[in-house]
Amino acid sequence: MSFISDADLMALALEAREKSYSPYSHFAVGAALVDKNGNVYQGCNIENAAYSACVCAERSAFFKAVSSGVTSFEKIAIVGGKAGEKPTEVAAPCGVCRQVMREFCKPDQFRVLLGTSPDDCKSYLLEELLPVSFGPENLQEA
C-alpha cells in the first residue's frame, strides 16, 4: 500500500528543488523520500565553495530521515535540471546516492521515480539502477 501517489511525490520533489543551493553548477536538484509510514522527507543539493563538500539532493533527503530515526523507506522522487528553469530531462541519481539507497532500502522493492514533472515520471526498482550490488548483508558474516 502506498500513502502518496507517484505524481504527488514528484510535485514534492519539485517543491524541494526550489531550495537547491547550487551557485557553482547552476544545476538544481530536488528529492522527496517516503518512509514506510507515509512521512515525506524532502532534500535538495547543497553545494560548497570547497567542491568536495557538496551533497546531492537524494542524500540530503536520506540523511534528514535517518538522522530523525527513520530507516525504512518505500520510494523516492528525483527531479533536476538547469537552475531557474523547469526540468527538461531525467536527472538520474549518482552512484554514491544509489549506494546510500542500497544501505537502507530493499533493492527489489524500493522504487526510484525519475522524470520532469508529476505527469512525466518513470518508476525504477533500485536493483535496476544498482545491479549486482554490495550491501549490509555482505558484512554479516565478516
Catalytic site residues? 58
- Asked whether 80 and 27 are in contact (CB, 8 A), the reply is yes
Phi/psi at 43 (5° precision): -145, 155
Q: In angstroms, what is the minimal distance from the CB of 97 to ligand THU?
A: 5
Q: In angstroms, what is the minimal distance from the CB of 142 to ligand THU?
A: 29
- Options 22-30, 82-90, 101-109, 111-119: segment touching ligand THU (CB under 6 A): 22-30
Secondary structure (3-state) at 124: strand
- Interface with ligand THU includes 115 (CB under 6 A)? no
Among 56, 79, 105, 121, binds ligand THU (CB under 6 A): 56
Q: In angstroms, what is the minimal distance from the CB of 18 to ligand THU?
A: 14
Give bridge partners of residue 75 from the DSSP assignment.
34, 111
- Interface with ligand THU includes 14 (CB under 6 A)? no
Q: How far is it, in rounded angstroms, from Cα 92 to Cα 43? A: 15
- Interface with ligand THU includes 29 (CB under 6 A)? yes
Instruction: Please work out the total of residues on this chain that contact ligand THU, with binding judged by CB under 6 A.
Output: 13
77-106 residues in contact with ligand THU (CB under 6 A) are 93-94, 97
Secondary structure (3-state) at 113: strand
C-alpha cell at 86: 523547469
- Cα distances from 16 to residues 37, 53, 88, 116, in angstroms, run 20, 20, 17, 14
